[in-house]
Amino acid sequence: MPRASLSRPTVSRRPGSVSGMTESLRQEAPHAPPEPLESTGDETVDAVVASLAGLDEQPVAGHVAVFEQAHESLRRALADAGESSIPG
C-alpha cells in the first residue's frame, strides 16, 4: 500500500474523515433553536454557560477569546469556592 504524501493530500471517504464531515454538514438542515439552558445552581457558572450560547453566530476566529474568558471565569470560581471552604 503506498504511503500518503504530505505534499499531495488524499481525500478519504471513511467514516470520521474531515471531508466526509464537511460534506454532511453542508447537507444538514438549518439548526433548530437552542433549548433553554438549565441552571447549574451557581450564578457564575450559569453566566459562563450563557456566554457560550451565542458562539454559533460568531466567526470561528472569535471563539478562542470566548473560550479563554470562559476558562478564566471558571478557574476563578473554582479558586473562590476552595477559599470559602477553608475553616478559619
Give the H or E element holding residue 4.
none
* pLDDT at residue 45, rounded to an integer: 92
pLDDT, tens digit (0-9, with 9 covering 90-100), for 13-42: 566 555 555 555 555 556 666 677 789 899
Who contacts 83 (Cβ-Cβ below 8 Å, separation ≥6)?
none
pLDDT, tens digit (0-9, with 9 covering 90-100), for 43-76: 999 999 999 988 888 899 999 999 999 999 999 9
85 secondary structure, DSSP code: T
pTM: 0.54
Q: Which of 54, 52, 46 is nearest to 69 (CA)?
A: 52
CA distance 23 to 16: 12
Q: Where are the domains of the chain?
A: 60-88
* pLDDT at residue 70, rounded to an integer: 96
> How far does CA 28 lie from the centroid of its chain?
19
* pLDDT at residue 88, rounded to an integer: 55
* pLDDT at residue 68, rounded to an integer: 96
